[in-house]
Amino acid sequence: MKYHIRQDAGKPAYLQLYEQLRRDIVAGVLPLNAKLPSKRLLAEETGVSVITVEHAYAILCDEGYIEARQRSGYYVIYRERDFLTGSEAAVVTAPGAGPLRTDREEFPFPQIARTMRKVLADYGENILVKSHDHGCVQLRMAIAAYLARSCGISALPEQIVIGSGAEYLYSLIVQLLGSECGFALEDPSYEKIRQVYRANGAACDLLALGADGIRTAELERTSAKVLHITPFNSFPSGITASVSKRQEYLRWADRRQGWIIEDNYDSELTVSRKNEDTVFSLSANGRVIYLNTFSRTVAPSIRVGYMVLPERLLEPYREKLDFYSCTVPVFEQYVLTELLNSGDFERHINRVRRVRRKAKGQ
């Protein structure tokens, strides 16, 4: 056994052992799926207690380097790609589709697995309790805090509604605002937006995009009262609306006593060192519904979205839609709560942004 504990090292024995094991895991001496020595064997070889080894292993588990398998022992789950920084990765792009997720942009699986284990341990049978109809209050509080510090959106938890993905939330919006309003969409835009609105009985008007957003003449032409926009990296055009254009959208809504649906599915993955200003945060008259999901930032299988309602729409929402139960499993809501509160979510976002800046030579 090559691990040694020094009495004069000035560090606790468990920390010395942890650092030596982590070094070998990162270096590939202990590769993916390698089985670690049993706690008793390692304790005997290094002259420490089993509890000391257990403590070192627990830290490695918490940090996603190893995992305990029932009746089998501890195994390495570290993969280099899960811990790469921006200077070590590149982004693949597709014509007209904007940046694609690469393996190095995926949310590190060990962190998700560790968070799931923590939720099971900390929340216990509470994951079996039905959530509030708007979503678990813990997740709505975590989202409110995240939005405040990341993009200047000031919202109370009661303004946030959790739902199973953006498409479900689109249908709620039609029911809230009324299909008779008429909905205007960017042209081109994500096809499912139009499909969901039409399936809910709303007429859709497609407005041509210019270099910095929807053309002014198109905004004036439409008779719609609801404008659905993707102001950052609109799909499939990749167009980002300028600040002037975002202000123009707000004036459009004010003049018509209409509404803006701000769909910011990709906004957090900007290469800028600060998040783009949201239309919601620029609005002074409360005519913007902000919508985002975790499918892009965490994993496509996480079918969790949220919308932030302006305060003036809270009472209409209660009157029309409060009978709906939240469609997202409580367990997933608590996992997202922990990712947000622990800082893991933002660390991942910042890492991906560094990757993209490096790829663009910024």
Instruction: List the one residue out of 176, 222, 230 whose CA is nearest residue 203.
Output: 222
Per the document, the length of the chain is: 362
- So what's the pLDDT on residue 80? 58
- So what's the pLDDT on residue 104? 54
Helix residue ranges, H only, 32-135:
39-46, 50-62, 109-123
Dist. CA 3–CA 359, nearest whole Å: 40
- So what's the pLDDT on residue 142? 96
Q: Please enumerate, as own/partner, the contacts of 115-121 that have beta carbons within 8 Å and a separation of 24 or more.
A: 115/335, 115/338, 115/339, 115/342, 115/344, 116/331, 116/335, 118/338, 119/331, 119/334, 119/335, 119/338
- So what's the pLDDT on residue 362? 54
- So what's the pLDDT on residue 261? 98
Dist. CA 336–CA 282, nearest whole Å: 27
Per-residue pLDDT of the chain (362 residues; tens, 9 = 90+): 588 898 888 788 998 998 899 889 888 889 989 999 999 999 999 999 999 999 999 888 866 788 899 889 999 987 655 444 333 333 333 333 333 444 456 788 888 999 999 999 999 999 999 999 999 999 999 999 999 988 889 999 999 999 999 999 999 999 999 999 999 999 999 999 999 999 999 999 999 999 999 999 999 999 999 999 999 888 888 898 988 999 999 999 999 999 999 998 877 666 555 566 899 999 989 999 999 999 888 988 888 999 999 999 999 999 999 999 999 999 999 999 999 999 999 888 888 887 777 776 65
Dist. CA 305–CA 289, nearest whole Å: 13
- So what's the pLDDT on residue 272? 55
